[in-house]
Amino acid sequence: MPQKKLRVELLAMTPEPLSLIYAAFRQCYHAGFVADMWPRLLSGEIGREKQAEFVQSVLESGHDSPVEHVSFSFAVEGISRACSHQLVRHRIASYSQQSQRYVDESDMDYILPPAIARIPEARERFETLMVEISGAYRELRGLLAANGRGAKANEDARFVLPQAAETKIVLTMNCRALLHFFSLRCCARAQWEIRDMALAMLAICRDRLPALFAVAGARCERLGYCPESARFTCGRYPLRDNGA
C-alpha cells in the first residue's frame, strides 16, 4: 500500500481545436456559412496566427461561449478521495471514477499530505493508521464474504476507507469549463492537491491550445489584481482599487 504521486495524462481532445473555435466565432458575425470556410482553415490558407489573433480579440470582448465546442479528456491518478470530492463539484464536466464498490482495496494506496510528511511524528502516525485501516478493511471484507455477502463484501467494507485513499478518474471538460476550473483551482487559496492537479492540466492545455490557454490560470493572473478581499488575498497581486 504505497503512497501515490499525481499523474495527469491527456487521453483525447477535439481535433483542430483552434480552427473549430475560430469557425464558431466567425459564424456569429459572418453572413455566409462557415462550412464553406472550413477547408481553407484546415489547409492553412487562413493562417493559424490569424485564427489565434481573431479568437483572442473576441475573447477579450467577453464573448466566450463558442469555446465550448472544444473539449479535453484527461486520465488522472494519484489523487485522494478528498480531492475527487472537490473535483466533481465542477458540474459542467463528465467523470468516470474508479469504484470502491467493485475494486478490492485490500492493499489500498494513499495520498500523504506534504504538511504531514514534513513532521516525522505526524507522518509516522499517519502511515500507521493507513496500515491499521487496510487491515480493518481486509478483516471486514473477509467476515462479510464468509457471512453471505460474497462478491458484494467490498460494498460494505469500503465504509472504513479514509479520504486519503487514492483514486483514479477520467474527466472531460469543454474549454469554457476548463477556463473556469483553472480560474478557481490554480489560485493560491485552492487546496494544495487540486491546485497541483489543475496546474498539471493547465500545462497540457497551454501546450495543445496556446491561443486560448496562454493567459488562463488563477483570476489574478488575467485581471492583474487580486479579486479576493484583504482577509483572503495571498499578496501576490495588489487588491482591486474599489475607488477606481
User: 24-83, pLDDT tens digit by residue?
Assistant: 999 998 889 999 999 999 999 999 999 999 999 888 888 889 999 999 999 999 999 999
So what's the pLDDT on residue 219? Answer: 87
**For residue 6, how many C-alpha atoms fall within 13 Å in the half-sphere facing its CB?**
20
- Torsion angle defined by CA atoms of residues 50, 56, 58 and 63, in that order, rounded to the nearest 10 degrees: 140
3-state secondary structure of 227: coil
3-state secondary structure of 45: coil
So what's the pLDDT on residue 60? Answer: 82
Listed in sequence order, the residues at least 6 apart from 109 whose beta carbon sits closer than 8 Å to its beta carbon are 1, 2, 3, 4, 165, 166
Helices (H), the chain: 17-29, 38-43, 48-60, 81-87, 114-117, 120-144, 153-157, 175-185, 192-208, 210-213, 219-223
| Distance of alpha carbon 99 from alpha carbon 168, whole angstroms | 9
So what's the pLDDT on residue 62? Answer: 83
- The string of pLDDT tens digits covering residues 70-117 is 999 999 999 999 999 999 999 999 999 999 999 999 999 999 999 999
So what's the pLDDT on residue 193? Answer: 98
Phi/psi at 229 (nearest 5 deg)? Answer: -80, 170
142 pLDDT band, cuts 50/70/90, is very high
- The string of pLDDT tens digits covering residues 172-183 is 999 999 999 999
243 pLDDT band, cuts 50/70/90, is very low
So what's the pLDDT on residue 220? Answer: 86
Listed in sequence order, the residues at least 6 apart from 70 whose beta carbon sits closer than 8 Å to its beta carbon are 13, 14, 17, 20, 21, 174, 175, 209, 212
Per-residue pLDDT, averaged over 215-235, amounts to: 85
So what's the pLDDT on residue 242? Answer: 53
Q: Which listed residue (141, 158, 185, 195) is catalytic?
A: 185
CA-wise closest residue to 2 among 108, 76, 82, 77 = 108
So what's the pLDDT on residue 2? Answer: 65
In what side-by-side order are the strands of the sheet with 7-13? 7-13, 71-80, 166-174, 94-97
Listed in sequence order, the residues at least 6 apart from 102 whose beta carbon sits closer than 8 Å to its beta carbon are 154
So what's the pLDDT on residue 174? Answer: 98
Catalytic residue check, 149: no
Q: Which three cell numbers stand for residue 198?
A: 489543475
pTM of the model: 0.92
CA-wise closest residue to 55 among 11, 19, 91, 86 = 19
